[in-house]
Amino acid sequence: MSRVSIYDTTLRDGSQGEGVNFSLQDKLLLTRRLDEIGVDYIEGGYPLSNPKDFEYFQAVRDLPLTHAKVCAFGMTRRKNAPAETDTCLKALLDAQTPVVTIVGKTWDFHVTDVLGTTLDENERMIADSVAYCKSQGREVFYDAEHFFDGYRANPEYALRTLKAAATAGAAVVVLCDTNGGTMPERVAEVVQTVKRELACEIGIHCHNDCELAVANSLSAVRAGAAQVQGTMNGIGERCGNVDLVSVIANLALKYGFDVLKPNSLTRLTETSRYVYEVANLNFRNGQPFVGVSAFAHKGGMHTHAVAKNPTTYEHVRPEAVGNERRILVSELSGRSTILTKTAKYELNHDKALMTKILSAVQDLENQGYEFEAAEASFDLLVRKVAKLHKPWEVDKKLKLYKPWFERITYRVNIEAREAGTPITEATVRLKVGDQIEHTASEGDGPVNALDGALRKALVRFFPSLTEMQLVDYKVRVVNPRAGTAARVRVVIESRDGTDVWGTVGVSENVIEASWLALVDSIEYKLFKDQEASG
Amino acid sequence: MSRVSIYDTTLRDGSQGEGVNFSLQDKLLLTRRLDEIGVDYIEGGYPLSNPKDFEYFQAVRDLPLTHAKVCAFGMTRRKNAPAETDTCLKALLDAQTPVVTIVGKTWDFHVTDVLGTTLDENERMIADSVAYCKSQGREVFYDAEHFFDGYRANPEYALRTLKAAATAGAAVVVLCDTNGGTMPERVAEVVQTVKRELACEIGIHCHNDCELAVANSLSAVRAGAAQVQGTMNGIGERCGNVDLVSVIANLALKYGFDVLKPNSLTRLTETSRYVYEVANLNFRNGQPFVGVSAFAHKGGMHTHAVAKNPTTYEHVRPEAVGNERRILVSELSGRSTILTKTAKYELNHDKALMTKILSAVQDLENQGYEFEAAEASFDLLVRKVAKLHKPWEVDKKLKLYKPWFERITYRVNIEAREAGTPITEATVRLKVGDQIEHTASEGDGPVNALDGALRKALVRFFPSLTEMQLVDYKVRVVNPRAGTAARVRVVIESRDGTDVWGTVGVSENVIEASWLALVDSIEYKLFKDQEASG
């Protein structure tokens, strides 16, 4: 099985997608996840372009990555100036990544009309930039922008630019179909030609403007490309980059290539959904391989046939990519997912309990819950279900759920005048043990006011809550077509000195959904502290 | 230019998609639209399966179609019984369409294990059904279900089933990749083989389970297939059927085939959106060729190059498919983006105004605004800045901003008991002209209640607001590290019968941010209607 390298540019090219905006924390979370499944290269950003990307490259050095190499992306040096003093190359090197990826011009027209320089100077810009970064100890990948268009316009020059990069020491030369307009048979033909001309490895970078990005990437690999660049779920500008999820699944399952870490293919669905959650985007139900509908069957005879022999109506087993078959109308999480998630509690011997957890998760998923980015809420759910089950047996590993406090009422009032920020007040009445706490707080917004009143009521009983702060807050509509009457999912990320955890709440009311996620976050913190102290 | 026939099965196979449900009226509307652009065959339904499909075939006879032939879909006769008395074939003929499409089994395993009959009887079922329908004056297409899987399992038998159909008089034999698992090079190879063996025309019918349906359909056409079956926008079960929109655009623009009626290609975007509307589905922004983002550009230098020469960053002209170029306003945006973005207002000669717009955008971006998914808010911003500038000069092209109403106060109250959804009430006091409106509304949540109260106050003055609905609502924290005290950005997507538009609001208070986005959405709708009516 020959290896195909997966180069993920979700954090850089993906972030060019409309409505996609990653915080620094998002980028670090995604880096860890991609590393876990065995993505080979993770392009973290464009260090010159903005301070967030620069901070990322500092912070990523502290992540305990096990497999992936982080790459910084930048352009060739400016025209008519030495590489050694170029600001962009300096930023690229300051990122201190093992790999740098340099993009340069292939298309003669772009060189003369967009860059405004000569063909020879562009060639030198490529060679100098690659050579300089290599001399500084970096592995250098060279992205040939608009390669397929450039090669059509002027094949001789297009090849010269690649040779400049290869001769200067680029480890991989990546052919980019930047405008996404090339057809698969053409990709194959061009990759074959280039491969004959160059000694280094070839990569491919496709966009989906003709709905052919996956076909083009596979076509390139079959013609000899050793690296595929793309983004998770195909996010990216215009029609997106190639979806690495489909590329990975096809390479592994249809062509038998070695991709990712061993056994990681079964984490593809979970990883895809995690990326959607972090990017605050809805899943695409019909997404190949990992979509919620990808293995959904309806129709009597059809369903029967699937039950009898799945290969009759399924081209691959859903479990192969960590997805699951759905029969009828249900959004069900599979048993295997739950088994994996609950492994740490050592409850697996108890089949009846596992079934109860599965069914609780399914109920909640039907209401719009998602536990992908809310493992703390999942943890509480396990405690709750286990408590209702057989406390004496499962209590060994797991503090069973108990409510740390009970809500009696809360009220939020928002009042706005002609202009300016409204005034918000929240009042909370709680029972903690046998005491009633009634507190009030103003806040910048309703959730902040509610959070303030909650903490005011609780901190006297649980002083460790002062260590905890909320670091992110996301709201997503679960059934978007219902407009403002839709059900919303709130995901909150909290942290204390040692941990970061996510919780989730779903309601038609954004305040109630936020309350649920806030309460989970606080309760998780209290259980965590309790277990840490024995 | 050789002709490729387009066979649309949106109304039949497309309606198998999750959440897709066409009324009789919907089906008739779609039939007319597809006929108008020159789709060659329209598969209207499965007359045996339900009364709605039967009624459709009656009603469609009265439509003044100019080009398309309507097709009825059904199965081969039942095993061990004559075609002449078969209920399914009777229903098929009763539909009185010029074309009938009969689906039959190719895969030996399906014949014996799913159908429970012999390979020979299945062959006779195919031959009899085709021959009988042909004897009744119909043009017969034969859909070979699971052809590619069947051909892999037992090529000799798979070919025999096709020959049975062809010999019995089928005009087209359609190779179906029913499970969507076949790779493009295999499709090409198999189509070529089949073409050598059969005298009749070959069709192709693909599903998108590997994200290769478009590539597979194109591959089949290049190997000699003369008909492509698919659905508009790729709707259909699991991962969908092949998207005919992409197939048509690629066949016409990339390979120079003759498809549709002359000049219809420019109606592709409008037709795609019409199908989404009728199907009550949201547009896919990143859809190739016709998506709202398909020709959207962001990033300063990039945008500059597009403005200078669109072919630098566009593989086809957006106008070729009736779409349009969009320049996104984003954190990466510079002056050239704003220039392009405001071109339609013809303000570009006024440098001072452009500077003011740019600086307003940058101010708002620093506060956390993002205009890339909120073009309607950007439009209002241009109107506002222009009004403060030199109204007498810019008023020619652009209705300057005026507030359609003024807020005096709003108040939202959320009250929760021990458990369950809280009760939410909003009150709104507005001034419209010289009248004061004071309304109240309950709602599922604060934003829904506020929206309800706002509309109640305004609809008397602006009845067209009843056409408008909110289709998506997103909340994102702008400075996540501040937790619940963070500033939030709300993006709302609204639509009416013809357009979809996005608006944005930013505040530390999620309710205020929602209010701002709601107000922008309403004002944009009112300006739009005013300009449309001259």
What ipTM does the predicted assembly reach? 0.77
Chain-chain contact of A18 with B293 (C-beta, under 8 angstroms): yes
> From the CB of residue B404, how many other CB atoms can be counted at a distance below 10 Å?
18
Q: Which amino acid is at B317?
A: R
Smallest Cβ distance to A509: which of B243, B331, B422?
Answer: B422
Q: Which amino acid is at A187?
A: V
How many Å is the Cα radius of gyration of chain A?
A: 26
Q: What is residue A33's three-state secondary structure?
A: helix
A496 or A288: whose pLDDT is higher? A288
In angstroms, the separation between the Cα of residue A157 and the nearest Cα of chain B is 17
Interface size between A and B, measured as CB pairs under 8 A? 359
Evaluate if residue B390 carries a pLDDT over 70: no
Q: What is residue B161's three-state secondary structure?
A: helix
Mind listing the pLDDT tens digit for each residue in B336-388? 666 666 776 776 667 788 888 888 887 887 777 877 678 899 999 988 888 87
In angstroms, the separation between the Cα of residue B219 and the nearest Cα of chain A is 9
- Cα distance between residue A167 and residue A198, in whole Å: 9
List the single residue in A with minimal CA-CA distance to B180: A315
User: Are B247 and B26 in contact, with CB atoms under 8 Å apart?
Assistant: no
Chain-chain contact of A293 with B416 (C-beta, under 8 angstroms): no
B85 or A364: whose pLDDT is higher? B85
- Cα distance between residue B166 and residue B162, in whole Å: 6
User: Are B351 and B372 in contact, with CB atoms under 8 Å apart?
Assistant: no
Chain-chain contact of B373 with A19 (C-beta, under 8 angstroms): yes
Q: Mean pLDDT of all residues in chain B?
A: 89
List the single residue in B with minimal CA-CA distance to A407: B418
How does residue A332 score in pLDDT terms, banded at 50, 70 and 90? very low
Chain-chain contact of B448 with A288 (C-beta, under 8 angstroms): no
- Cα distance between residue B90 and residue B76, in whole Å: 11
Q: Is the fold of A5-261 the same as that of A405-533?
A: no
Smallest Cβ distance to A414: which of B250, B412, B422?
Answer: B412
Among A331-335, B319-323, B412-416, B474-478, which is the least confidently predicted range? A331-335
Q: Which amino acid is at A254?
A: K
3-state helix, strand, coil in chain A (%, to 5): 45, 20, 35
* Cα-based distances in Å from B9 to A50, A272, B36, B106, B175: 48, 30, 16, 21, 15
Number of residues that make up chain B: 534
- Which chain A residues are closer than 8 Å to B12 by Cβ? none
B51-59 LR contacts (CB < 8 Å, sep 24+)? B52/B23, B52/B24, B52/B27, B54/B91, B54/B94, B54/B95, B55/B24, B56/B11, B56/B24, B56/B27, B56/B28, B57/B94, B57/B95, B57/B96, B57/B97, B59/B24, B59/B28
In angstroms, the separation between the Cα of residue B485 and the nearest Cα of chain A is 5
- Cα distance between residue B461 and residue B199, in whole Å: 67
Among A359-363, B171-175, B370-374, which is the least confidently predicted range? B370-374
In angstroms, the separation between the Cα of residue A350 and the nearest Cα of chain B is 31
Evaluate if residue A165 carries a pLDDT over 70: yes
A229 or B305: whose pLDDT is higher? A229
List the single residue in A with minimal CA-CA distance to B413: A413
User: Mean pLDDT over residues B498-510, rounded?
Assistant: 88
Per-residue pLDDT at B396: 58
- Which chain A residues are closer than 8 Å to B445 by Cβ? 484-485, 488, 507-512
Evaluate if residue A300 carries a pLDDT over 70: no
Chain-chain contact of A411 with B413 (C-beta, under 8 angstroms): yes
Q: Mean pLDDT of all residues in chain A?
A: 89
Q: What is residue A261's three-state secondary structure?
A: coil
Chain-chain contact of B509 with A218 (C-beta, under 8 angstroms): no
- Show the DSSP H helices in B437-492 as ranges: 446-458
Smallest Cβ distance to B509: which of A288, A419, A424?
Answer: A424
Mind listing the pLDDT tens digit for each residue in A422-476? 999 999 999 999 999 999 999 988 988 999 999 999 999 999 999 998 877 878 7
Tokens 């219809």: give the residue.
Answer: B264
List the single residue in A with minimal CA-CA distance to B209: A288
* Residue B280, CB-side half-sphere exposure with 13 Å CA sphere: 13
Chain-chain contact of B512 with A445 (C-beta, under 8 angstroms): yes
Tokens 């009828």: give the residue.
Answer: A328
Using alpha carbons, select from B214, B119, B122 the residue that is nearest to residue B165: B122
- Which chain A residues are closer than 8 Å to B254 by Cβ? 181, 183, 210
Instruction: Count Cβ atoms within 10 A of the Cβ of residue B204 and give its class: 0-12 exposed, 13-18 middle, 19 or more buried.
Output: buried
Which residues are registered as beta bridge partners of B480?
A: none
Q: How far is C-alpha B171 from the chain's CA centre?
A: 31
List the single residue in A with minimal CA-CA distance to B292: A238
- Cα distance between residue B303 and residue A490, in whole Å: 35
Structure tokens that stand for B102 in this block: 């009969």
User: Mean pLDDT over residues A13-42, rounded?
Assistant: 91
Chain-chain contact of B239 with A291 (C-beta, under 8 angstroms): yes
Among A15-19, A38-42, A104-108, A271-275, which is the least confidently predicted range? A15-19
B267 or B351: whose pLDDT is higher? B267
User: Are B11 and B68 in contact, with CB atoms under 8 Å apart?
Assistant: no
List the single residue in B with minimal CA-CA distance to A23: B480
Which residues are registered as beta bridge partners of A70?
A: A42
Tokens 């159908």: give the residue.
Answer: B115
- Show the DSSP H helices in B434-533 as ranges: 446-458, 510-532
In angstroms, the separation between the Cα of residue B358 and the nearest Cα of chain A is 19
**Which of the listed CATH numbers 3.20.20.70, 3.40.50.2300, 2.40.128.50, 3.40.50.300 matches domain A5-261?**
3.20.20.70
Per-residue pLDDT at B340: 67
For B434, phi then psi, to 5°, come to: -105, 15
Structure tokens that stand for A509 in this block: 């009311």
Chain-chain contact of B511 with A218 (C-beta, under 8 angstroms): no
- Cα distance between residue B45 and residue B58, in whole Å: 12
Sheet bearing B469-477, strands edge to edge: A500-507, A488-495, A469-477, B469-477, B488-495, B500-507
Evaluate if residue B31 carries a pLDDT over 60: yes
Mind listing the pLDDT tens digit for each residue in A135-155? 999 999 999 999 999 999 999
Chain-chain contact of A293 with B18 (C-beta, under 8 angstroms): yes
What is the percent of chain A with per-residue pLDDT over 90, rounded to a whole number?
A: 64
Per-residue pLDDT at A333: 43
Per-residue pLDDT at B332: 47
Smallest Cβ distance to B239: which of A181, A287, A471?
Answer: A287
Q: Which helix (H) or strand (E) holds B178?
A: none
* Residue A527, CB-side half-sphere exposure with 13 Å CA sphere: 22
Smallest Cβ distance to A484: which of B18, B299, B473?
Answer: B473
- Cα distance between residue B307 and residue B9, in whole Å: 39
Smallest Cβ distance to B208: which of A288, A314, A493?
Answer: A288
* Residue B184, CB-side half-sphere exposure with 13 Å CA sphere: 27
Report the CATH number of the A405-533 domain. 3.30.160.270
- Cα distance between residue B79 and residue B442, in whole Å: 60
Per-residue pLDDT at A330: 29
Per-residue pLDDT at B205: 98
How does residue A123 score in pLDDT terms, banded at 50, 70 and 90? very high
Q: What is residue B204's three-state secondary structure?
A: strand
Q: Classify each residue of A43-75 as buried b or exposed e, where b means 16 or more C-beta atoms within 10 Å of its C-beta.
A: bbbbbbbeeebbebbeebeeeebeebbbbbbbb
User: Mean pLDDT over residues B43-72, rounded?
Assistant: 91
Mind listing the pLDDT tens digit for each residue in B150-162? 999 999 999 999 9
- Cα distance between residue B383 and residue B526, in whole Å: 13
How does residue A398 score in pLDDT terms, banded at 50, 70 and 90? low
Per-residue pLDDT at B287: 96
Smallest Cβ distance to B312: which of A110, A219, A450?
Answer: A110
Per-residue pLDDT at A52: 76
Find which of A25, A52, A209 to mutate to test the B interface (most B CBs within 10 Å of its CB). A209
* Domain chopping of chain A, boundaries: 5-261, 296-389, 405-533
Chain-chain contact of A208 with B314 (C-beta, under 8 angstroms): no
User: Are A170 and A141 in contact, with CB atoms under 8 Å apart?
Assistant: yes
Q: What DSSP string runs through A65-119?
A: -SSPEEEEEEEPPPTTS-GGG-HHHHHHHHT--SEEEEEEE--HHIIIIII-S-H
Mind listing the pLDDT tens digit for each residue in A92-102? 999 999 999 99
- Which chain B residues are closer than 8 Å to A280 by Cβ? 474, 476
* Max CA distance (Å), chain B: 84
User: Mean pLDDT over residues A403-417, rounded?
Assistant: 94
Chain-chain contact of A210 with B407 (C-beta, under 8 angstroms): no
